Chain A
Amino acid sequence: MDGIDTLRDTYLNRIKDAGDEAAVEELRLAALGKKGEISLKMRELGKMTPEERQTTGAALNRLKDELDAALRARKASLADAALEQRLAAEWLDVTLPGRPRRFGTIHPVSQVMDELTAIFADMGFSVAEGPQVESDWYNFDALNIPPEHPARQEHDTFFMHRAEGDDRPPHVLRTHTSPVQIRAMTQQGAPIRVIAPGRVYRMDMDQTHTPMFHQVEGLAIDKNISMANLKWVLEEFCRAFFEVPSVELRFRASHFPFTEPSAEVDIRCSWANGQLKIGEGDDWMEILGSGMVHPKVLKAAGVDPDQWQGFAFGMGIDRLAMLKYGIPDLRAFFESDLRWLRHYGFASLDMPDLASGLSR
């Protein structure tokens, strides 16, 4: 039995001192391999008495298990140490910048159009479109602005060139999105609820005007839609768009040839330290024009004004963007300055929807 204890001590010491996995394997073979010392001792059991065989056999088996466990443990700890060493050598400067990636942006005009669409879709409005080169009939006559009407002069219209011999009145670059009212009603008839966002053009260029800008038109026609419904829709729109708990609108009588009665709409706001706050304060800011669609306009679009009535409104998309997002200069919208695009632009996945709120 002394031999077994010696064997254990010898091997356990050698296992403890093994410097690498190869040394451990060598020891395993020397002790437990087919020709290893313990295997050889096992073979000697046959020569023993049954009593001796029983005790020595059990002791050898225990020794075998013990050495096996020690060998495995040593192997694992050597592997751990090797890994530690490798990891220590694999140090990188994590303060270096990551791999470059480009970040794209959505223009505020597109973003606001998507916001408008989300809000009005919920109220049952679809999105109508029309051409940007318009006939003067759609842009003016059908909207109850006859050729000599002073309102026509106030539109600062861009006219398209007319070839010699073509006696039609020149086409215009649409001065507002209102002609889409006519096109939508002509195509879909009544009842109808649409908004029509898009580019419009006026001959005006200064600090606060650009010859191209964006408007959104709204139109709702049904059997008994009233101006009070118009006010509610606009209140709901403003509350949702400006993302404030409540808004207050003020209707002021005004005149647009295509609506009757007509109202300019002001929103309650405050301007403190150059910061606009919607829904509070003592100031009023004009934000849009609106009214009940003029019977002549309905008639021009083939809708019977004795049966149908409803409202229309129009507002500036660029201006809405400026007000909501604090963008100071309209002209910069169309200059494509990368610094501006990145600063005022929106992430591609900032998709406005009512469930998550329109803006982050």
Chain B
Amino acid sequence: MKFTLSWLKTHLDTAASLDDIAYALTDLGLEVEGITDPAAKLKNFTLAKVLHAEQHPDADRLRVCRVQTDEGEKQIVCGAPNAREGITVVLCKPGDYVPGIDTTLGVGKIRGIESHGMMASERELELSDEHNGIIELPSGEVGERFVDWLAANRPGAVDPMIHIKITPNRPDALGVRGIARDLAARGLGTLKPLVVEPVIGNFPNPITVRTETEGCPLFAGRVIRGVKNGPSPAWLQQRLMAIGLRPISVLVDITNFFTFDLNRPLHVFDAGKVKGDLVVRSAQDGETLQALDGKTYTLRPGMVVIADDTGVESLGGIMGGEVSGCDEATTDVYLEAAYFDPITTATTGRALKINSDARYRFERGIDPAFTLEGMELATRMILDLCGGEASEVQVAGAVPDTARAYRLDTDRVVSLVGMEIAAEEQRATLEALGFRLEGDMAHVPSWRPDVLGEADLVEEIARVASLTKLQGKPLPRTAAGVPLPILTPLQQREKMARRTLASIGYNECVTYSFINAGDAALFGGGADAVRVENPISSEMTHLRPDLLPGLLRAAARNQARGFADMALFEVGPAFTGGEPGEQVLQATGLLIGASAVRDTFGSRRPVDLFDAKADAEAILAALGAPAKVQISRKAAGWWHPGRSGVIGLGPNALATFGEVHPRILHALDVKGPAVAFTINIAKIPYPKVKTPTRPALVLSDLQAVDRDFAFVVDAQVEALTLVNAAAGADKALIESVRVFDQFATDAQKAEGKKSLALTVRLQPTDKTLTDKDIEAASAKIIEKVAKATGATLRA
């Protein structure tokens, strides 16, 4: 919403400065977005008088002038044809910035003659496009500031333009008068009375109107005949231009003026072009309107139109039609003032994608009670500026009843705001804003559709009292003492997963929750249920089914930047469906390239699935997963079928690790191989009893014994099978079993065999082991392993 200071002052009697007004507006909730003060760029210029002008000796078109200035007589070379003795001019001195030519002046020498400044044209000062000569002022003294002269003689030229942001709840502030009312309530002046004297109609209204839709509860119209349409008077043109509107003709300009001045959109039809009577009705399917913006719109039922015998003439509350629009030839005008339903207006405007000043106001809700008064005021202005005579007013429908009142609880106001505001001040504020108080009941003015409860009264009082003045008051703790921990177990885990991943060398990424359809499909997603109906780009159409595609894309981007080795991770939601809550928390890590930079120790080697497995296990351990888990090969299709595993607890898949399928890497432009893991954080069981107490540490004084076993097994036998078999040989005695070597000789390879070496630690608890005991245990281990896997001891 834009307006100028002088416009504001037509409604507000105030001596407040521009700064004070701007501060109050922002504080009141009418946030000042910008102030354009045309005086700012003119403030250095002063008036001067040409004492003498003579032809430049070396240039036909130049004159050398002696000019009387506030700093004495100066010589100025000037090219303007009207530079002559005796005129009062606007002087720009050396050092001044001249906006219209974007130049800071210096002392110049023009064709050999020094020039101390310049005398400006209107265009050079950005006052108008006039550039036929320098400005000649009809009055003014030498040395007078040009801005002061303008303020006295051409106030519009130095009228500051204020641009404020209007929140959607304040349609009343979409008119200058509403803004003035707020400022008056704040105490920045008094609201000038608005006198409405109805114009008595001289003749019956020749165009009758009827309303057939709830979308327009009230429609008033009258004909004014014998008008003369043409350019608006200068003051009106200037007002509109100052806020960026183009003057069209006086009739149209008047409607625009009312829109911004009193928040009362109007419409004028050329009465000569209206065929028959008007009806306000719902559009018929497929009806069209060629609107004033030059476009043709196809309408649908439910949209409110004003139609005559030939069809739709106007889209109610949004835009008029071209056919019945007013132009220079208009002599009889039909003036419409109506109230259109906000929701209907919004729906229609959105469907047709028309943004107009009228729609903007009607959909937020304007003052229905002001409809007829607005019509009378507009009639008077048309008569004043265009002549003619007015018919009687015809009203179809009735002013919607907006009467309502809410209880003002002044104590509750103080309790909610936390600021001492005297009851009397509260009441005075509401009254200044147009509320009518009856006892404790505050009756809401018709221009405030946003006030719908007691809480809204609180807001009005608080903002007028000034929230800037609000002083903070401590919020007491709910309970005395040391605060309790507040994270849920899952939140703690999420944080632990993140911190552990970073501690083992991964860089955390945050990637978008939506990915492209192709990527989603590769990872088991891409269904319609997780499709965004209105994606912002074709790369962001589906909610991600997994975190891995986002990380792989990130890896590809980094590879393109020349980074070959990386460890990336993300902790965040993956989406299993399109219903609220169909999301799971994943922690995913991705390793690509080599384990280390090249160094003198030969540390560098390609990362492999056992890196991913070790890291997955480290995270699981940090999150409290049990040490004893199952490993299956049932990983999803985006993993390498031979080089991936699922760490599970019964039916619960806690994590997947492995190499990413080469086909996936190819599709996502990643130079592989790449290994990764995904942890399903929420699937990890929580301890049944939460206690900080640790189980007792059981230590034996008896010597433990390590025994190594070298088995030969079929190449596809899994090591864990051997380990579990060995461990099961004597659960009391065997403390641990660990694989420490794997290899295959050429001969073994030829036979499809491999060697696996286990080390077993025997920990006695009651007596030291004898050689015999050890032999017995070893034999049992060999037997169990052989039975489970067909292994033989290596010769």
Interface residues, chain A, with chain B CB atoms under 8 Å away: 96-97, 99-107, 109-110, 114, 117, 121-127, 129, 131-135, 138, 148-151, 153-154, 158-163, 170-171, 173, 191, 193, 199, 201, 203-205, 211-212, 220, 222, 224-235, 249-255, 257, 260-264, 292, 294-296, 309, 333-339, 341-342, 345-349, 351
Complex Cα–Cα for A231 and B343 (A): 36
Is B506 located at the chain interface by the 8 A CB criterion? yes
Q: How far is the CB of B549 from chain A (nearest CB, A)?
A: 12
The residues of B that contact A211 with a CB separation of less than 8 Å are: 512, 514, 536, 540
The residues of B that contact A161 with a CB separation of less than 8 Å are: 528-529, 531-533, 578
Supposing A104-B508, A106-B499 touch, asked if A227 and B416 sit within 8 A by C-beta, the answer is yes
Q: How far is the CB of B386 from chain A (nearest CB, A)?
A: 35
Is B688 located at the chain interface by the 8 A CB criterion? no
Q: Is the CB of A110 within 8 A of B508?
A: yes
Return the 9 tightest CB-CB contacts between A and B, nearest first.
A228-B418, A102-B505, A226-B418, A232-B472, A253-B29, A253-B463, A336-B554, A255-B167, A348-B502
Q: Is the CB of A255 within 8 A of B27?
A: no
Q: Is the CB of A252 within 8 A of B26?
A: yes
The residues of B that contact A170 with a CB separation of less than 8 Å are: 533
Q: How far is the CB of A347 from chain B (nearest CB, A)?
A: 7
Q: Mark B491-508, 1 if CB is under 8 A from A, else 0.
A: 100010011111111111
What are 26 A-B interface contacts by the 8 Å CB criterion?
A102-B596, A103-B505, A104-B503, A110-B498, A114-B495, A123-B475, A123-B477, A131-B583, A133-B580, A138-B580, A153-B350, A173-B513, A205-B536, A212-B512, A220-B475, A226-B417, A229-B474, A253-B28, A253-B467, A255-B167, A260-B459, A261-B416, A263-B467, A292-B417, A295-B454, A345-B507
The residues of B that contact A337 with a CB separation of less than 8 Å are: 557-558, 561
Q: Is the CB of B488 within 8 A of A338?
A: no
Is B567 located at the chain interface by the 8 A CB criterion? yes
In the complex, what residue of chain B is closest to A228 when comparing beta carbons? B418
The residues of B that contact A348 with a CB separation of less than 8 Å are: 499-503
Q: Is the CB of B463 within 8 A of A261?
A: yes
In this complex, how many residues of chain B approach chain A with their Cβ under 8 Å: the count is: 103
In the complex, what residue of chain A is closest to B498 when comparing beta carbons? A110
Q: Is the CB of B475 within 8 A of A159?
A: no
Q: Is the CB of A105 within 8 A of B507?
A: yes
Contact of A131 among B478, B503, B581 (CB under 8 A): B581
Complex Cα–Cα for A158 and B532 (A): 7
The residues of A that contact B599 with a CB separation of less than 8 Å are: 97, 99-100
* Contact residues of B between 501 and 543, Cβ < 8 Å to A: 501-514, 528-537, 540, 543
Given contacts A250-B468, A336-B551, 16 further A-B contacts (CB under 8 A): A100-B596, A101-B505, A110-B571, A124-B478, A131-B581, A150-B346, A191-B478, A226-B417, A227-B470, A229-B475, A231-B472, A232-B472, A251-B467, A255-B170, A257-B169, A337-B561
Q: Is the CB of B27 within 8 A of A252?
A: yes
Q: Is the CB of A201 within 8 A of B513?
A: yes
In the complex, what residue of chain B is closest to A161 when comparing beta carbons? B531
Complex Cα–Cα for A335 and B557 (A): 9
Most chain A CB atoms below 10 A, which of B347, B470, B597? B470
Contact of B31 among A123, A129, A212, A264 (CB under 8 A): A264
Complex Cα–Cα for A276 and B576 (A): 42
Contact of B475 among A96, A103, A148, A233 (CB under 8 A): A233
Q: Is the CB of B167 within 8 A of A162?
A: no
Is B235 located at the chain interface by the 8 A CB criterion? no
Q: How far is the CB of A144 from chain B (nearest CB, A)?
A: 10
Q: Is the CB of B495 within 8 A of A124?
A: no
The residues of A that contact B499 with a CB separation of less than 8 Å are: 106, 348-349, 351
In the complex, what residue of chain A is closest to B532 when comparing beta carbons? A158
Q: Mark B446-484, 1 if CB is under 8 A from A, else 0.
A: 000000011110110011000110111111011100010
Q: Is the CB of B509 within 8 A of A341?
A: yes
Complex Cα–Cα for A228 and B528 (A): 48
Complex Cα–Cα for A160 and B577 (A): 11
In the complex, what residue of chain B is closest to A137 when comparing beta carbons? B580
Q: How far is the CB of A320 from chain B (nearest CB, A)?
A: 15
The residues of A that contact B155 with a CB separation of less than 8 Å are: none
Q: Is the CB of B483 within 8 A of A121?
A: yes
Complex Cα–Cα for A264 and B572 (A): 30
The residues of B that contact A231 with a CB separation of less than 8 Å are: 418, 470-473
Supposing A124-B483, A127-B491 touch, asked if A104 and B567 sit within 8 A by C-beta, the answer is yes
The residues of A that contact B571 with a CB separation of less than 8 Å are: 110
Q: Is the CB of B505 within 8 A of A228?
A: no
Complex Cα–Cα for A179 and B343 (A): 24
Q: Is the CB of A100 within 8 A of B597?
A: yes
Q: Is the CB of A117 within 8 A of B487?
A: yes
Supposing A253-B28, A254-B29, A342-B507 touch, asked if A294 and B502 sit within 8 A by C-beta, the answer is no
In the complex, what residue of chain B is closest to A250 when comparing beta carbons? B468
Supposing A101-B505, A122-B483, A235-B472 touch, asked if A228 and B419 sit within 8 A by C-beta, the answer is yes
Complex Cα–Cα for A270 and B542 (A): 42
Q: How far is the CB of A330 from chain B (nearest CB, A)?
A: 12
Complex Cα–Cα for A101 and B595 (A): 9
Q: Is the CB of A255 within 8 A of B533?
A: no
Complex Cα–Cα for A158 and B554 (A): 24
Q: How far is the CB of A152 from chain B (nearest CB, A)?
A: 9
Is B363 located at the chain interface by the 8 A CB criterion? yes
Q: How far is the CB of B352 from chain A (nearest CB, A)?
A: 14
Q: Is the CB of A261 within 8 A of B462?
A: yes
Is B545 located at the chain interface by the 8 A CB criterion? no
In the complex, what residue of chain B is closest to A223 when comparing beta carbons? B415
Q: How far is the CB of B682 from chain A (nearest CB, A)?
A: 12
Complex Cα–Cα for A125 and B486 (A): 7
Q: How far is the CB of A282 from chain B (nearest CB, A)?
A: 14
The residues of B that contact A230 with a CB separation of less than 8 Å are: 418
Supposing A104-B502, A131-B580, A231-B470 touch, asked if A261 and B417 sit within 8 A by C-beta, the answer is yes
Complex Cα–Cα for A135 and B578 (A): 10
Q: Is the CB of A336 within 8 A of B26?
A: no
Q: Mark B417-435, 1 if CB is under 8 A from A, else 0.
A: 1110000000000000000
Q: How far is the CB of A236 from chain B (nearest CB, A)?
A: 8
The residues of A that contact B495 with a CB separation of less than 8 Å are: 114
The residues of A that contact B455 with a CB separation of less than 8 Å are: 260, 292, 294-295
Is B566 located at the chain interface by the 8 A CB criterion? yes
Complex Cα–Cα for A253 and B558 (A): 46
Supposing A220-B475, A227-B418, A334-B511 touch, asked if A159 and B502 sit within 8 A by C-beta, the answer is no
The residues of A that contact B529 with a CB separation of less than 8 Å are: 160-161, 163
In the complex, what residue of chain B is closest to A336 when comparing beta carbons? B554
Complex Cα–Cα for A252 and B458 (A): 15
Q: Is the CB of A171 within 8 A of B579?
A: yes
Q: How far is the CB of A107 from chain B (nearest CB, A)?
A: 4
Complex Cα–Cα for A96 and B458 (A): 71
Complex Cα–Cα for A107 and B506 (A): 11
Contact of B513 among A96, A121, A132, A203 (CB under 8 A): A132
Contact of A150 among B364, B459, B470, B557 (CB under 8 A): B364
In the complex, what residue of chain B is closest to A293 when comparing beta carbons? B455
The residues of A that contact B596 with a CB separation of less than 8 Å are: 99-100, 102
In the complex, what residue of chain A is closest to B504 when comparing beta carbons? A104
Is B575 located at the chain interface by the 8 A CB criterion? yes
Q: Is the CB of B509 within 8 A of A252?
A: no
Complex Cα–Cα for A106 and B533 (A): 33
Complex Cα–Cα for A334 and B483 (A): 35
Is B603 located at the chain interface by the 8 A CB criterion? yes
In the complex, what residue of chain B is closest to A144 when comparing beta carbons? B452
Is B140 located at the chain interface by the 8 A CB criterion? no
The residues of A that contact B573 with a CB separation of less than 8 Å are: 132, 199
The residues of B that contact A105 with a CB separation of less than 8 Å are: 502, 507-508
The residues of A that contact B346 with a CB separation of less than 8 Å are: 148, 150, 153
The residues of A that contact B572 with a CB separation of less than 8 Å are: 199
Q: Is the CB of B477 within 8 A of A124?
A: yes
Q: How far is the CB of B535 from chain A (nearest CB, A)?
A: 7
Most chain A CB atoms below 10 A, which of B31, B467, B543, B573? B467
Is B686 located at the chain interface by the 8 A CB criterion? no
Complex Cα–Cα for A160 and B479 (A): 43
